[in-house]
Amino acid sequence: MLDYSVDEIKKVVREVLTELQEETIPIGISNRHIHLTEEHFQLLFPNEQIEPQKKLKQPGEYAAKQTLTIIGPKGSRENVRILGPLRKQSQVEISKTDARTLGINAPIRLSGNLKDAVEITLKSPAAEITIPAVIIAKRHIHMSFADLEKLHLTKGEIVSVKIETPERTTIFDDVELRPGEKYVLEMHVDTDEANAANIGPKTVGKIIHH
Ligand SMILES: [Zn+2]
CATH number of the domain where residue 186 is located: 2.40.40.20
What is the C-alpha to C-alpha distance for residues 152 and 3, in angstroms, rounded to an integer? 32
- For ligand 1, the distance from its centroid to the CA atom of residue 186, given in whole angstroms, is 8
Maximum Cα–Cα distance across the chain: 79
- Alpha carbon distance 42, 53 (integer Å): 18
Residue 188 class from Cβ within 10 Å (0-12 exposed, 13-18 middle, 19+ buried)?
Answer: buried
CA of residue 111 to ligand 1 center, whole Å: 7
Residue 3 lies in a domain: no
User: What three-state secondary structure class fits 102?
Assistant: helix
The answer to whether residues 110 and 174 belong to one domain is no
Centroid of ligand 1 to alpha carbon of 3 (angstroms): 48
Phi and psi, residue 23, nearest 5°: -85, -5
Q: Tell me the CA–centroid distance for residue 188 and ligand 1, in Å.
A: 5
Tell me, yes or no, whether 41 and 126 share the same domain.
yes
pLDDT tens digits, one per residue of 89-139: 999 999 999 999 999 999 999 999 999 999 999 999 999 999 999 999 999
3-state secondary structure of 200: coil
Q: What is the pLDDT along the chain (210 residues), one digit of tens a residue?
A: 678 899 999 988 887 776 665 589 999 999 999 999 999 999 999 999 999 999 999 999 999 999 999 999 999 999 999 999 999 999 999 999 999 999 999 999 999 999 999 999 999 999 999 999 999 999 999 999 999 998 989 999 999 999 999 999 999 999 999 999 999 999 999 999 999 999 999 999 999 876
Ligand 1 geometric centre to CA of 140 (Å) = 6
Return the H-helix or E-strand segment holding 20: helix 6-22
Q: Tell me, yes or no, whether 10 lies in a domain.
A: no
In a domain, 12, yes or no: no
Indicate the number of domains in the chain: 2
